[in-house]
Amino acid sequence: MSTAAKRMIVVTGATGNVGTSLVRLLAQDPDVTGVRGLARRVPDLGPDRVKWSRVDLASEQADLVKEFEGADAVVHLAWAFRPTHVPVATWGTNVLGSIRVFDAVAAAEVPTLVHASSVGAYSPGPGDHTVDESWPTHGWPDAAYTREKAYLERTLDAFEYRHPAIRVVRMRPAFLFKRESASEQRRIFGGRFLPGPLARPELLPFLPDVKGLRVQALHTDDAARACQLAVHGAARGAFNLAADPPLDAAMLGELLGTRPVRLPRTAARSAIAAAWGLRLLPASPHLFDAVLRLPLMDCTRAHTELGWTPRRTATEVLEEFLRGLQEGAGAGTAPLQGRKVG
């Protein structure tokens, strides 16, 4: 039986991609006495030892101090990806809502804050080598997602200066996937009516190969486990989280049995911009620009200081996610609701 101190943990964005994985882990953790999940739309049921609170971080009326009282750690995961055409709306939830979370953590005297940052917070990468956590975090200013993630890095810099007694951990994961997130991510990036079965190899005559498009991925459960380790440990600061190998068109083509065909960046961006402008595609061309410039991350610090290693390769993650797309997979929360299209 564990002799570690028992903890009560609050999780914002508890019904989302990472939140559902983390809540499940913490509910099974013998060193956690209880979990409080915060979300705009709470589920009807959940794991034992989890209490739910309906909270909208965009609302100035949200009493976050009350929600955080008595907590040993707050894990801040809440994030809005849409509407991409109205960046002031996501700013209100993601940036102003996060600042409310940080201020409430200080007011409630919570000793640990774990914040979900992102690879998107990083400035454009060198291209020929990986970067560690010291790489600048100024994001790509033209994309709302990366701009907001970078702004919160500066906000946390000031927060740590004002509240040195609070242990702040910043998780910077790669793209996060799991089977249950497939329908949600299809809606966020591809649109509500994009057929999931298009991920089937026999329906893809070729795979667009855009020069420089090479990214890292991670299973959501592995990212959640890093947050769990951070809650229980003494480490502070930033941690890169990614699995090997990096993903590009050649690897995806091999996985799908489909031939990659080189597509000029300008042609790919023009197509995305046209679809976004017609509101046929939620993902903006500005996000495409940012993804092309993301660095590849070195995760040595997470391995050595957190004792964390991913349990699934990036290839396994992508295989699981593609199956979820084909099947319209989801979970029993509003954000992860499954739906098969096509």
Strand partners, 168: 113
Contact 101, 76 (CB under 8 A): yes
Which of the four pLDDT bands, split at 50, 70 and 90, describes residue 199?
Answer: low
* Joined tokens for residue 303: 């391995």
How many secondary structure helices (H) and strands (E) does the chain include?
Answer: 12, 12
Residue 140 lies inside a defined structural domain of this protein: yes
pLDDT tens digits, residue range 208-232? 899 889 999 999 999 999 999 999 9
Q: Torsions phi, psi of 12, nearest 5?
A: -85, 155
Q: Torsions phi, psi of 185, nearest 5?
A: -70, -30
What is the extent of the structural domain holding 91?
Answer: 7-250+282-327
Mean pLDDT of 53-64: 94
Residue type, 190: G
Neighbours of 49 (CB within 10 A): 15
Residue 305 lies inside a defined structural domain of this protein: yes
CA dist., res. 306 & res. 304, Å (int)? 6
Residue 335 lies inside a defined structural domain of this protein: no
pLDDT tens digits, residue range 226-240? 999 999 999 999 999
60 Cβ partners below 8 Å, 6+ apart? 100
pTM: 0.94
Q: Report the CATH number that the domain containing residue 237 is assigned in CATH.
A: 3.40.50.720
Q: How far is CA 190 from CA 82, 185, 198, 212, 244, in A?
A: 12, 8, 11, 21, 25
Contact 17, 39 (CB under 8 A): no
What pLDDT is attached to residue 6?
Answer: 75
Residue 333 lies inside a defined structural domain of this protein: no
Q: How many domains does the chain have?
A: 1
Mean pLDDT of 238-250: 95
